[in-house]
Chain A
Amino acid sequence: MDLWIRLWMVIFILCILLFTGVAIYVGLGGLKDIKALFHKMNTSPKANTGHSDNSLKSKP
C-alpha cells in the first residue's frame, strides 16, 4: 500500500505543476487567438448552404 500512496502523491504533485504551466501558457496565448479568430471571421465570405465540403463524398 505504501507504494500506491507514494505513487499517487508524486503523480498528483507533478500533474498540478504541469497543469499550472499549461494554464499560464494557454491563458495568455488564448487571448491572442481570440483576436485572430475575430479578425479571420470578419474577413471571411458570407452565407453558405450549411453543408461542409461535399466534394469529399467518397468511400475511403
Chain B
Amino acid sequence: MHLIPSNFGLLDWLIVFVYMTITLSVGLYVNKYIKNMEDYLVAGRALKTRLAVATMIGSELGLVTVMYSAQKGFTGGFAAFHIAVIAGLVTFIVGITGFIVVPLRRLGVMTIPEFYEKRFSRGVRVFGGLLLALAGVLNMGLFLKAGALFVTGLTGLTDTNSVAIVMTIMLGLVIAYTIMGGMVSVVVTDYIQFVVLSFGMILICGISVFALGWSTIVDTVISVHGESGFNPVLEGSGFGPTYIMWMIFTAGIVSCAVWQTSVMRACAAESVVVVRRMYMWSSIGFLIRFMVPQFLGICALTYFFNISEFRDLFFDKTGNPSNNPTITLQAMPLFLSQILPTGIIGLIGAGFLAAFMSTHDSYLLCWASVLTQDVIAPITNDKLTTKSRLIISRIFILVIGLFLLVWGFLYDLGQDLWDYMAVSGAIYFIGAFAVLSTGLYWKRASTVGAYLALVVGVGAVAGLGPVNKALNLEKYSSAEIGLSMTLVALVMMFIGSLVFPDRRRVE
C-alpha cells in the first residue's frame, strides 16, 4: 500500500497539531465544572436538544464508523446504503415511540445495568454490567488498528513504528482529558467534532462527485458488482434478507436504544421530551454516519478500479474487490489522500482524528463507568464515596486503554470490520435487548429469565471470524447466528420468567 504517495504535507501536519491542541485544551478546561459523580458521568443531566443531538452524532460518527462503513461501500457498492436507511428510520421510530429510552430516562438511571437492579436484582446488575463492559471493550478492541490504517493511508506514513507511536500518543491524549473532564469534556469535544466533520464530509462528497463524475461511479459499481451492487435483497449480493433483518436489529434498534453509549446520551438529557426530540433529530445523523462513508468507499472503488496501476492492489484478477479486510479498509483513506488538496486534507484529517479521539473518550468513559458503578460499587454494597468512584473510573480508563494498545495490534481481523463490531457487541446486546424490552414492558419478567437471556447472548461470540472457524460453523453467517441467538434469548427470558417467577411478585 505504501506504493501510493499522499498529498498530505507539512501544512496539513500543522493543521492537525493546532486542531488537536485546541480540542485537548477545551477538554481539559471544562474539568472545572465537575463537582460530583452525576456531573462526571451524565453532565449533570443538563443537555438541551441541540447539544444533545451534536454530542450524540459526534460520538457515533467516529473514525471507526467511517472506516467500517467505507469498507462496506467498497465491498458492497450502493447496496450497502440499506444499512444507513435502516439506521435512520429505526432511530426516528425510537424517537417517536420512545421505545426503551424514554422509560429508562424516566427511571433516572445512569447505566443500563442500574436498571437491571431496579427491576430485577443486584446480581443481575453485576452480571449484566460485567458482560456489557467486556463486550464493549472487545467491541472497541480494533479501534486503534482502524485508526492506524487511516493514518497510514491518509498521511503516507509507511513506517509501522511511526504509526504505532502516533496512535499511542493520541490514545494518551484522549485518556488524559477523559479522566479529567468526564462527560462534560466528552460533550464539548463531541460538539467541536460534529461541526468540523459534518461540514467536512459534505465537502468531501462534493469534491469526490466533481472529481469522478456520478455516471462513472455508477458504471464502475455495475462493472465490479453488477446488480448486487445496488440490490441488497438479492441473494449472493453479500447481504440478502437475513442480513437485512440482522441490520434492522443491530444498526437500527441496538445502536440507538440498547447500546450503552447511545443510552447514556438519553440518560444525560434534560427531560423525556428532549430524549424524543434528540432521537428524531439524530436519526438523520445516524443515517448519514453510515451513508457518507459508504459513498466514499464506493468512490474509492471507482478511483482505484479505473487506474490500472492501482487496480491490482485492490482487486483480484477477475476484477472482484480483494478478500483481504486490511486492504479494503485502507482504500478510503488512500482515496482521500489522492483527491483532496493540501490544506483541505489536513483539516479533514484533523476532523477524522478528532472523531477517533471522540469515540474513544465516549467509549472509555462508558465502559469504565459501567465497571465502577455496576460491578465494583454493588459488590462493595455502595459504600464507595464519590471520590473513590472517580478514582476507580479513572484507573479503569487507563487499564482499558492499555488493553486497546495490545489487542489492536495482535488480533487478526479475518472479516469486515463492521461484522466484527456487530458480533462482538452482540455478546452483550442480544441478552440486553431481551432483558430491557421484557423488563420494561412485561410485568412477569423475572430475575431467572434475565440471567438466562444474558447467558444465551454470550453465544453470539460464535459469529466472530476465528471462533466461527474454530467451532466449524462456517456454513452459518454471523447474521444467522446473531438472529438465532436473539430469538433463543427472548424465548429463554419468557420460559425462565414463567417457570421461575420472582418471589416478591408471587407473594
Q: Are A15 and B227 in contact (CB under 8 A)?
A: no
A52–B33 CA distance with the chains assembled, in angstroms: 19
- Other-chain contact of B386, A12, A30, A50 (Cβ < 8 Å): A50
Contact residues of B: prevailing secondary structure: helix
| Count, chain B residues at interface, CB 8 A | 71
Q: Which residues of B contact A53 (CB under 8 A)?
A: 108
Q: Is B141 in contact with chain A by the CB < 8 A criterion? A: no
Q: How far is the CB of A58 from chain B (nearest CB, A)?
A: 7
8 Å CB interface, A11-44 against B: 11-12, 15-16, 18-20, 22-23, 25-27, 29-34, 36-38, 40-42, 44
Contact residues of A: prevailing secondary structure: helix
- Other-chain contact of B36, A25, A26, A34, A50 (Cβ < 8 Å): A50
Known contacts A41-B33, A51-B382, A52-B114; A11/B46 CB under 8 A: no
Q: Which residues of B contact A30 (CB under 8 A)?
A: 50-51, 53-54, 191, 194-195
- Other-chain contact of A34, B188, B377, B386 (Cβ < 8 Å): B188
- Other-chain contact of B44, A9, A40, A58 (Cβ < 8 Å): A40
Q: Are A19 and B389 in contact (CB under 8 A)?
A: no
A20–B118 CA distance with the chains assembled, in angstroms: 41
Q: Which residues of A contact B202 (CB under 8 A)?
A: 16, 19-20, 23
A56–B33 CA distance with the chains assembled, in angstroms: 27
Q: Are A36 and B108 in contact (CB under 8 A)?
A: no
8 Å CB interface, B18-70 against A: 30, 33, 35-39, 43-44, 46-54, 57
- Other-chain contact of B81, A12, A18, A19, A20 (Cβ < 8 Å): A12
Q: Which residues of B contact A59 (CB under 8 A)?
A: 118-119, 502, 504-505
Q: Are A46 and B51 in contact (CB under 8 A)?
A: no
* B119-143 interface code vs A (CB 8 A; 1 in, 0 out): 1000000000000000000000000
| Count, chain A residues at interface, CB 8 A | 44
Q: Which residues of B contact A26 (CB under 8 A)?
A: 50, 53-54, 57, 194, 281
Q: Are A46 and B35 in contact (CB under 8 A)?
A: yes
| Chain B residues proximal to chain A, CB less than 8 Å | 30, 33, 35-39, 43-44, 46-54, 57, 78-79, 81, 84-85, 88, 103, 107-110, 114, 117-119, 184, 187-188, 191, 194-195, 198-199, 202, 205, 214, 218, 222, 227, 230-231, 281, 284-285, 287-288, 291-292, 295, 373, 377, 382, 384-386, 389, 439-440, 443, 502, 504-505
A/B interface sample: 22 pairs, CB < 8 A:
A1-B222, A1-B230, A4-B79, A8-B81, A12-B295, A15-B84, A16-B205, A22-B53, A23-B195, A23-B198, A26-B54, A30-B51, A30-B191, A30-B194, A33-B50, A38-B30, A46-B36, A49-B382, A50-B36, A50-B37, A56-B108, A59-B118
| Chain A residues proximal to chain B, CB less than 8 Å | 1, 4-5, 8-9, 11-12, 15-16, 18-20, 22-23, 25-27, 29-34, 36-38, 40-42, 44-53, 56-60
